[in-house]
Amino acid sequence: AQLNTQANQLAHHLITTHHIGPEDTIAIALPRTPDLITAILATLKTGAAYLPLDPQHPTHRLTHTLTTAQPTLTLTTTDTHLPHHTTTLHIDHPTTHHHLNQQPTHNPTNHHRITPLAPHHPAYLIHTSGSTGHPKGVV
């Protein structure tokens, strides 16, 4: 119940403040903590696709992934430094916590989303090296 509440509050914040919805991509560069699960679930609740990023990957790989994927927003922490400039939301920042605590706790529906979620909307975008050795995005 606590996970769902936190994911709902983050999803509502992403929808209302950042105008995130279906056809958007959110990069998630978080350590393996409960915040990672909350961020993935919240992203899916907005209807957006998530792009997992490992901040420990080499800078050139992260740069290539962010450049080719062009995420609408990156969810990260204040301690994580990414090589490519993207719009970021630091989920551990006190201001973010303040805004999240003011958001509704109920599940977002198509009524709340930017556009209705449909089965053809992507859920995630993953980059693999493939046969060429260069990361390629797969929806």
Mean pLDDT by 10 residues, the chain (139 residues): 97 97 95 94 97 89 89 93 84 94 96 93 85 72
Domain count, the chain: 1
Q: DSSP of 111-126, one letter per residue?
A: TTSSS---TTS--B-E
Q: Is residue 127 part of a domain?
A: yes
**Structural domain boundaries enclosing 12:** 2-110+120-138
What is the residue type of 104? P
pLDDT of amino acid 131: 66
Q: At which residue do the structure tokens 């901040």 appear?
A: 55
pLDDT of amino acid 99: 95
Question: pTM for the whole thing?
Answer: 0.91
CATH number for the domain that contains residue 72: 3.40.50.980
Q: Is residue 58 part of a domain?
A: yes
pLDDT of amino acid 39: 97
Q: Is residue 115 part of a domain?
A: no
Q: Is residue 63 part of a domain?
A: yes
First to last CA, the chain: 30
Q: Is residue 18 part of a domain?
A: yes
Distance, in Å, from the CA atom of 118 to the CA atom of 47, rounded to the nearest integer, reads: 8
